[in-house]
Amino acid sequence: MKKNYSIAFVFLLFFQLLISQELILKKGIVLDSLSVGEGSGETYALYLPSDFAMTKKWPVLFVFDMDGKGKQALSMFKNAAEKEGYVLASPNHINDTISLSENMLRTSRTIERVVQVLPVHNSRIFVAGFSNGGRFANVTPYFLKNIKGIISCGASLMNPEMLGSKNRFHFIGIVGNEDFNYTELLKLRKILHRMKFQNQLLVFEGGQEWPNNDLLQTALTRFNLSDMAKGIVLKDSVYVQKAYNKDLRRFSVLRGQLKLLIAEKVLDEMLSVYRLHLNTDSLKGLKKGLRKERLYRTLKRNENAALFKESLLKEDYIYYLDEDVLSYNYNNLGWWNYQMSELDKFIQGGNTAEKAMGHRLFGFVNALIEDNIDLIKSEKQVDEEALLFLNMLKTITEPTDFDPYLEVISLAAKNEDFGTAIFYLEEALKKGFKDKEKLYTVEHTALLRITPEFNKVVEKYLKDARYEIIEE
């Protein structure tokens, strides 16, 4: 009996060695569809730096994509991980269609698998994500142990009130100044400072989009510098100085481009990070000089005014949307159309602060509508009238997204309101919708599709209708 156990142990050890050797042989590329465990049916994507070796402990960054596209998510961090020496991993079977608890269980199994087969530094396990993936990353420390840091791209914490002394972590937010999450991350930064959570906020010019490789690398550098200051890894003075010089160059470039508010934020983060490693008196001098500049003071006043105006407009949008959905107030669609034209004026204007505000508010309104649509769809008894209103509204706030047009066509046809369906069909085609096959498979439109009116509109914009038009 003992002999059988020994053979089994040797076989298991040999199997683990084979796994490790296989991973070592594929360094520098993103591996996909690696099994989480026998019988689970779950897979994950993995990236090992070119200099990966089993003889040392490695930091690992788990990147989340809520569409289950692990390989795609890792490709965004690949260059940064290669330069900073991080292993990357991403579960392929998490998504927004299953419960948070189930997503956490699947994530936990992926983490356990990676820790099992690789020499992971247990004090250097981090998570990251963009948008919905970022929001998921932000809640992992509440459910999973040993998460030491978060890189949240374009997403704030879902519930800052849950922060406490038992689940402390290093938070790094990365956001564009035109992203509607920008103001939320500014508020979160103050909360984290007040609660003495280690945190940084990296800001770039742009909207809700993936940050560039340079900023992603900067975020990983921040984790490295923090771990050096804590004594988790050996301090490397050359590495510290190189990182400092790189940040200083970024500040100088931004200042030269007259992007003084973002330049100030770079200085703030540098003071936070490097005070534990270097003398930062020169940085304090740069910040003092920056704040004395007339252009800086003008830009700061404009931004403060825009942020105040933005907060008032957000309150209006939240209030009126709630009222309109409850009362199915189709008459107020004209007011919403006017509001979007006003935001467009901000974007086209010469005030850079209001331009950024306009972009943020467009994003905010669309996110607000999408949240309401998701909420209604999640109810046992779906309020189709409210769903119809919200999709009509979405065609105003985001006119080049064609899914809401198709939703309106479907819901209107279901209620035999063919006039409304035909109107939104033509509006979609005017805006450039060209997918005829999709058009002829819209749910609840079987009767609508064979009407002369429907096919006339299709023939007018797409040249060839599926059904013959017979004039009486």
Provide mean pLDDT across the span 137-159: 90
* Residue at 262 is within a domain: no
Q: What pLDDT is attached to residue 38?
A: 74
Calculate what percentage of the chain has a pLDDT beyond 90. 81
Provide mean pLDDT across the span 245-267: 96
Phi and psi (nearest 5°) for 298? -65, -45
Q: What pLDDT is attached to residue 90?
A: 95
Q: Are residues 88 and 136 in the same domain?
A: yes
Report the candidate in 60, 58, 52 with the shortest Cα–Cα distance to residue 25. Answer: 52
Higher pLDDT pick, 44 / 470: 44
Q: Are residues 73 and 181 in the same domain?
A: yes
* Residue at 287 is within a domain: no
* Residue at 241 is within a domain: no
The C-alpha angle 98, 99, 105, rounded to 5 degrees, equals: 100
pLDDT tens column, 192-228 = 999 899 999 999 999 999 999 999 999 999 999 999 9
Low-confidence winner among 18-22, 133-137, 268-272, 462-466 (lowest mean pLDDT) = 18-22
Q: Are residues 224 and 304 in the same domain?
A: no
Q: Are residues 354 and 447 in the same domain?
A: no
Q: Which residue range(s) make up the domain with 425?
A: 399-472
- Cα 196 to Cα 170, 204, 221, distances in angstroms: 10, 25, 21
- Cα 229 to Cα 166, 225, 308, distances in angstroms: 21, 6, 38
pLDDT(337) > 60: yes
C-beta atoms surrounding 449 within 10 Å: 17
Q: Are residues 414 and 335 in the same domain?
A: no
Provide mean pLDDT across the span 402-417: 96
Q: What pLDDT is attached to residue 69?
A: 87
Under the banding of pLDDT at 50, 70 and 90, the label for residue 9 is very low
* Residue at 300 is within a domain: yes
Q: Are 353 and 305 in contact, with CB atoms under 8 Å apart?
A: yes
Q: Report d(CA 106, CA 30) in Å as an integer.
A: 20
Report the candidate in 117, 166, 174, 160 with the shortest Cα–Cα distance to residue 145. Answer: 166
Provide mean pLDDT across the span 433-441: 90
Provide mean pLDDT across the span 158-179: 85
Provide mean pLDDT across the span 24-45: 84
* Most confident range, picked from 9-23, 144-158, 349-363, 448-462: 349-363
Provide mean pLDDT across the span 28-38: 89
Q: Are 60 and 114 in contact, with CB atoms under 8 Å apart?
A: yes
- DSSP classification of residue 353: H
pLDDT(25) > 80: no
* Residue at 114 is within a domain: yes
Q: Are residues 367 and 333 in the same domain?
A: yes
Q: Are residues 370 and 439 in the same domain?
A: no
Q: Are residues 365 and 221 in the same domain?
A: no
pLDDT tens column, 114-144 = 999 999 999 999 999 999 999 999 999 989 9
Q: Report d(CA 197, CA 159) in Å as an integer.
A: 15
> How many structural domains is the chain composed of?
3
* Most confident range, picked from 34-48, 160-174, 247-261: 247-261
pLDDT(151) > 90: yes
- Cα 35 to Cα 14, 31, 386, 433, distances in angstroms: 18, 11, 43, 40
Higher pLDDT pick, 162 / 290: 290
SS3 letters across 196-249: CCCEEEEEECCCCCCCCHHHHHHHHHHHHHHHHHHCCCCCCHHHHHHHHHHHHH
* Residue at 242 is within a domain: no
Q: What pLDDT is attached to residue 162?
A: 72
What the block records as the tokens of 254 is 């931004």
Separation of first and last alpha carbons in the chain: 90
Q: What pLDDT is attached to residue 163?
A: 76
Task: Choose one of 394, 419, 448: the last residue of a domain.
Answer: 394
Identify the CATH number of the domain in which residue 189 sits: 3.40.50.1820
C-beta atoms surrounding 341 within 10 Å: 10
> What average pLDDT does the chain have?
91
Residue with tokens 């997503």: 103
C-beta atoms surrounding 204 within 10 Å: 20
* Residue at 452 is within a domain: yes
Q: Are residues 368 and 416 in the same domain?
A: no
Based on C-alpha coordinates, what's the Rg of the chain? Answer: 27
Task: Choose one of 185, 219, 235: the last residue of a domain.
Answer: 235
pLDDT(392) > 90: yes
Residue with tokens 């076989």: 11
- Cα 345 to Cα 88, 307, 339, 341, 464, distances in angstroms: 43, 17, 10, 6, 39
Under the banding of pLDDT at 50, 70 and 90, the label for residue 157 is confident
* Residue at 230 is within a domain: yes
Q: Are residues 23 and 114 in the same domain?
A: yes
Low-confidence winner among 323-332, 355-364, 432-441 (lowest mean pLDDT) = 432-441
Q: What pLDDT is attached to residue 10?
A: 41
Q: Are residues 218 and 76 in the same domain?
A: yes
Task: Choose one of 216, 235, 254: the last residue of a domain.
Answer: 235
Q: Are residues 55 and 200 in the same domain?
A: yes
Between helices 237-256 and 260-274, what is the axis angle to 10°? 160
What stretch of H or E contains 16?
Answer: helix 2-25
